[in-house]
Amino acid sequence: QLETLEQEEQECLELRPHPTEKSTHIVSHEHGMTITKTLQEGKAEPQCQGFSYSRANLRGRVLEGASLLLLRVLARRQTMPPDLVFPAINTEGDLCTFRY
């Protein structure tokens, strides 16, 4: 029973003349999960977007950090079930599926 309590991702692009910084912060709480995305381009004001998913929407979903851990476990066991698919949340915070 693995559960993601918190996940943070940061990405920086050094593009001239407007470097871009993008971050996603995911936090689990008793009612579900809150996702906050921030985008800052150059010296412009940061743009923030936040949204939440209920526990019911998250049941069985795998976040990207947990997906990496799952891949390591499968590699260690040296086995991969055919057509392995998990309901997931990608780095943008969208509901999707991961296929291995």
Q: Render pLDDT for 32-86 as a digit per residue (tens, 0 to 9).
A: 899 999 999 988 899 999 989 898 888 878 777 777 888 888 888 887 788 888 8
What is the rounded CA–CA span in Å between residue 10 and residue 44?
Answer: 18
How many CA atoms lie within 13 Å of 20's alpha carbon, on the beta-carbon side? 7
- Show me where the domains of the chain are located: 6-99
pTM of this structure: 0.71
How many CA atoms lie within 13 Å of 15's alpha carbon, on the beta-carbon side? 10
